[in-house]
Amino acid sequence: MNHLVLKDPAWLGALLALAAVIWLRSRTRVPVLLVPFAAAWHRPSLVGRSRAPVLLAVAGLALLIAALARPQVVETRKDTRSRGFDIVLAIDLSGSMLSEDYEKDGVRMNRLQAIRPVIEAFIDKRPSDRIGVVVFSGHAYTLAPLTTDHDWLAKQVDRVKIGVIEDGTAIGDALGIALARLEQGGHEEAGKRLGAFIVLLTDGANNSGTLAPMQGAALAKARGVPIYTIGAGKDGIVPFPIFDDRGNKIGYTHIMADLDEDALRAIANTTGGHFYRAADSDTIESAFRSIDRAQKIDFQPRVYVVTTELFAWLAGPGIALLCLAAFLALGSGPARIRIGRQLPQSS
């Protein structure tokens, strides 16, 4: 909402003084130094010449007085993002994520296909948060730093593929890089990272990397960052597709799931997070809904005021009018002051 206000309204009293001067000048002789160019006000121009200098001077003074009153437009705004979380999603892209133990509407899906739309929906539901993505297999990499551009982020998630990183499962390294991305976000207090958490989604046991998963969990605990772990895939024997040289699926084999559920529970419990087992697409969605509820802020919009000064729009024209009045007054040449009643001359 916008309001027009005066910062120093007392200056408007000078307008009354100006009006009084104009009234008095027609009744008696007025000292020249009362207002600029007052001599021009008492020249014969008031009788027979142009009154332009007088009128311009009065208008200029009025504008300057109005400028001194400091007119302002005050706008009240609400900031809808006064607070928010920093989140890093750590997504497993190891070869076992190709296992097709998920199904939707009678169609088989691999684990990455099952989690991708759920991750995108999770991103869409948290518009006030900064979200980053780390992908890992035998090594861990940053796919996207913390950002509020969720449209761009969803496109990055849609582009991830299995097989572009050396195979393996480097859970500890993924946690280390996720923590590094969060530290770049700032907002630390007493060495702890505030308003941040990690979501780790994997289908296997750690078998690569330089940092052990519990070492990563200990670092997260020291920084006050909870880790929510999601174990993807079913237990036991699961179908795994076979591809030809052109990448076409030509059949299936079967592999044994190797999810280390105990390790994922320990990571979550150590850091104050929670472990979820996502055996099907419905439980993946349920896990993300639970995380969303657990780490959600009800925002109280911050109200702030934006003030726009308008004095320049009055002072500029006021000065210009006074200069023009002075030019016209000086250009009219000297003149004897004759106004009102002629004063008797002394003998």
Parallel, antiparallel or unpaired: strands 227-232 and 275-278:
parallel
pLDDT of residue 190: 42
pLDDT of residue 59: 86
Structure-block tokens of residue 148: 């509020």
Domain ranges of the chain: 2-75+305-331, 86-294
CB within 8 A of 70, min separation 6: which ones? 6, 7, 8, 11, 309, 311
Specify the range with the lowest mean pLDDT, choosing from 26-40, 126-140, 276-290. 26-40
What is the C-alpha separation between 339 and 199, in angstroms, rounded? 89
pLDDT of residue 44: 46
Task: Answer yes or no: is pLDDT of 227 > 90.
Answer: yes
User: Once rounded to an integer, what is the mean pLDDT over residues 127-134?
Assistant: 90
Specify the range with the lowest mean pLDDT, choosing from 27-41, 120-134, 191-205. 27-41
Specify the range with the lowest mean pLDDT, choosing from 48-57, 130-139, 189-198, 320-329. 189-198
Measured CA to CA in angstroms, residue 251 lies from 202, 215, 242, 246 at distances of: 25, 40, 5, 14
Task: Dump strand ranges (E) for 110-194.
Answer: 130-136, 140-147, 188-189, 192-193
Measured CA to CA in angstroms, residue 235 lies from 148, 168, 206, 255, 258 at distances of: 36, 19, 17, 10, 8
Alpha carbon dihedral 183, 198, 204, 154, in 10-degree steps, equals -100
* Structure confidence by residue, pLDDT tens digits, 26-85: 665 545 444 455 555 454 444 345 678 878 888 888 888 888 888 888 887 665 554 678
The CATH code of the domain at 86-294 is 3.40.50.410
Structure-block tokens of residue 27: 């009744």
pLDDT of residue 3: 78
pLDDT of residue 34: 47
